[in-house]
């Protein structure tokens, strides 16, 4: 989504900035999207640095300043979260799931229903957060491992009991 916004900001500069700058930024954004899709974070961060150099100027339009700010913020986001950025290209080539929209939709439905004030049992933000952590561990098949860390005597035979509890 942030790449789409940056693309729109770039298109918004067409009447003000040189056509060569617009095309160069557009090309860089496409390349950035490709590298992020394929999990090449190092190259993506280099492209973000390059974009910042291309956009930086002594006399900048308001639109150009907005785009530069968006690129800087995106670069900070990518740098901070680089260990969590998956290689979607690899997942796609291996027929693995590349979207979590179905999970996010289910979570949003459940959480929003429970946060409605007319509900008998309304969740606190902390309670909802803890429940989502448990559900995530169940979906990732990590809950059993966590319980075995807490309770070393827990055997594999009680897997059915653990599923019922979750």
* pLDDT band, very low/low/confident/very high, at 89 (cuts 50, 70, 90): confident
- Please give the residue range of the domain that contains residue 73: 2-89
Q: Do 74 and 14 share a domain, yes or no?
A: yes
What does the mean pLDDT of the chain come to?
Answer: 83
| Domain presence at residue 17 | yes
Last residue within a domain, chosen from 22, 56, 89? 89
**Of 28 and 147, more confident:** 28
**Of 70 and 148, more confident:** 70
Judge whether residue 113 has pLDDT over 80.
Answer: no
Helix, strand, coil % (nearest 5) of the chain? 70, 0, 30
Question: Do 133 and 107 contact (CB within 8 A), yes or no?
Answer: no
| Domain presence at residue 18 | yes
Our count of domains for the chain comes to: 2
Q: Give the tokens for residue 120.
A: 């008998």
| Domain presence at residue 94 | no
Q: Do 38 and 68 share a domain, yes or no?
A: yes
| Domain presence at residue 11 | yes
* pLDDT band, very low/low/confident/very high, at 34 (cuts 50, 70, 90): very high
What number is the average pLDDT over the span 12-39?
90
- Put simply, whether the predicted model's pTM sits higher than 0.85 gets the answer no
**pLDDT given at position 98:** 73
**pLDDT given at position 117:** 58
| Domain presence at residue 117 | yes
| Domain presence at residue 54 | yes
| Domain presence at residue 156 | yes
| Domain presence at residue 83 | yes
Q: What is the pLDDT of residues 75-87, one digit of tens each?
A: 999 999 988 888 8
Half-sphere exposure of 151 (CA within 13 A, CB side): 9
Judge whether residue 154 has pLDDT over 80.
Answer: no
């Amino acid at each position: 989504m942030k790449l789409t916004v940056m693309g729109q900001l770039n298109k918004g500069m067409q009447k003000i900035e040189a056509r060569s700058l617009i095309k160069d930024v557009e090309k860089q954004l496409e390349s950035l999207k490709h590298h992020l899709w394929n999990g090449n974070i190092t190259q993506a961060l280099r492209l973000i640095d390059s974009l910042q150099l291309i956009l930086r100027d002594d006399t900048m339009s308001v639109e150009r300043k907005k785009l530069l700010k968006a690129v800087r913020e995106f670069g900070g986001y990518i740098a901070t979260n680089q260990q969590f950025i998956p290689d979607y290209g690899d997942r796609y080539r291996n027929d693995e799931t590349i979207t979590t929209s179905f999970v996010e939709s289910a979570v949003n439905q459940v959480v929003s229903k429970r946060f409605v004030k007319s509900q008998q049992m309304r969740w606190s933000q902390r309670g909802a957060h803890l429940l989502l952590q448990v559900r995530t561990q169940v979906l990732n098949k990590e809950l059993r491992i966590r319980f075995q860390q807490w309770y070393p005597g827990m055997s594999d035979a009680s897997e059915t009991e653990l599923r019922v509890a979750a």
